[in-house]
Amino acid sequence: MKLITHATVVTFGDNHRVINDGAIAYDEDKIHAIGTTEELKARFPKAKAKNLNGKLVTPGIVNTHMHLYSTFSRGISLKDAPPENFTQILERLWWRLDKALTKEDLYLTAMIPLMEGVRNGVTTLIDHHASPNYIKGSLSILKDAYRKCGVRGSLCYEISDRDGQEKCNEGFEENAAFIKSLKSDEHDMAAMIGLHASMTLSEESLKRASDLSKELKTGVHIHVAEDQADNVDAINRGYRSVVDRLHKFNLTGPENIFVHCVNCDEHDISTLALTNTNVVHNPRSNMNNAVGCAKLEKMMAEKISVSFGTDGMSASPLVDLWTANILHKHQARDPRKAYGEIWKMFTVNGPKLASKMFKKKIGTIEEGAAPDLVIWDYIPPTPVTADNTLGHLTFGLPFARVNSTICQGKTIMEDGKLTFLGEGEEEEMMAKSRELAAALWERF
Ligand SMILES: [Zn+2]
């Protein structure tokens, strides 16, 4: 049994509380107890205790939408004129980048943001992968990177018709093979069926995805109405909207993740609410692509489970919480907006989605929950209470350094040092990454 003591324990979850001079007893299976330092020292006298001297401890952070493969885009120069709209961003950047990825690139493109995530306290990361010229076996390479870092992961391959029937078939096969390869006792790894977006999927492909989802009892992870172009495409095919089209193919529902939903109207939002479909909000990505501002308040008033993703902008959804806080106030010209929504998304909805996916209580510090913890180099300058934690989460933690990250009871970062790396290994990886990225930029 391991024990951390003299911590400011911030639990998150439905019964959020703050324990000053708190302690947590855990092993690699679960959190066994939480309480004051005095209580837990008396209960576990033989446990090895680590004194945190008042540092803040939160649950491990959950990122519900990411593209690890975007790593080599940092600093890339486009070969055409700057994109004027979202479709051109896809055509001139992302669909060129993913086609240029080779087998050799995949491990490092995953390792680097996973390490960045660990440095920011991320212990669960749901990814959406595309590499059309290396599809078969791609998810296993990503899995190796997750295993190396000791982070929980949910993987899927992005099926699309945009590169022809053969690549589309391969996408289906990779998802199915990876889903079938996971064993029931692999609590650190999950899988979904990845779909790019309605606008690059034919009627046949959506039907096939729906059948596969039913057959394998696995949800789909798809971009939805990110830009109005997605709706225009659905309307041209005879549907009311993207959500209407996906709903008619039985692709809505509590097992599925609809990413963005920026351009969803009230009718779409009630369909998402009635079907308990999960939505992921990625404010930095939406602002960067200039696609609009999701109707967050409306979606959450309808009790849709909305959580935070980073969509390739970085590995840390805490920065998206920070962004959402100011974006929705700015958008509504009302300083009262966003507080309630961002708190629930970050501390309740993201953890609940992960808990369902990994069949284990994730993202909350309580007895029986997964032993995923973040120790922050953040000694609060003002009192922390259950009622004011959001103030620290919004204005303090995004600028604080993570001291240590614990996932599945293992310390994967200690005092700022990634424990899964050997001496000089990171420098070697970064040098190799720069070399591979430069070669990819040539092919791009
Ligand atoms: Zn995305």
> So what's the pLDDT on residue 271?
98
Residue 5 C-alpha to ligand 1 middle, in angstroms? 39
Distances (CA, A) of 93 to 11, 82, 104, 167: 40, 10, 20, 19
CB neighbour list of residue 1: distance below 8 Å, 6 or more residues apart = 25, 26, 27, 32, 44, 46, 47, 48
DSSP string, 370-402: ---EEEEE---SS---TTTHHHHHHHTGGGSEE
Q: Which residues of the chain have pLDDT under 50?
A: none
Residue 310 C-alpha to ligand 1 middle, in angstroms? 8
363, 124 contact by CB (below 8 A): yes
User: How far, in Å, CA of 234 to CA of 245, rounded?
Assistant: 7
Residue with tokens 């308040």: 297
Q: Coil, strand, or helix at residue 362?
A: coil
Residue 173 C-alpha to ligand 1 middle, in angstroms? 21
Phi-psi region of 338 (alpha: psi -120 to 50; beta: other; left: phi over 0): left
Helices (H) and strands (E) in the chain, counts: 17, 19
> So what's the pLDDT on residue 373?
98
> So what's the pLDDT on residue 353?
98
Distances (CA, A) of 282 to 41, 80, 292, 308: 42, 26, 11, 6
Tokens coding 62: 């959950």
> So what's the pLDDT on residue 379?
86
Domain boundaries defined on the chain:
2-60+364-418, 61-358
> So what's the pLDDT on residue 357?
96
Residue 215 C-alpha to ligand 1 middle, in angstroms? 25
Strands 373-377 and 401-407: antiparallel
> So what's the pLDDT on residue 261?
98
Long-range contacts of 424-428 (CB under 8 A, 24+ apart): 426/115
> So what's the pLDDT on residue 101?
98
Fold of 61-358: TIM Barrel (3.20.20)
The runs of H, that is alpha helices, within 220-344 are: 228-236, 242-248, 266-274, 283-288, 296-301, 317-332, 339-344
Residue 67 C-alpha to ligand 1 middle, in angstroms? 6
Signed CA dihedral, 69, 75, 81, 86: sign only: positive
Residue 152 C-alpha to ligand 1 middle, in angstroms? 19
Question: Which residues, in sequence order, are bridge partners of residue 401?
Answer: 377
Residue 66 C-alpha to ligand 1 middle, in angstroms? 6
CB neighbour list of residue 294: distance below 8 Å, 6 or more residues apart = 260, 261, 262, 264, 279, 281, 283, 286
Residue 165 C-alpha to ligand 1 middle, in angstroms? 22
Phi, psi of 352 (to 5 degrees): -65, -40
CATH architecture of 2-60+364-418: Roll (2.30)
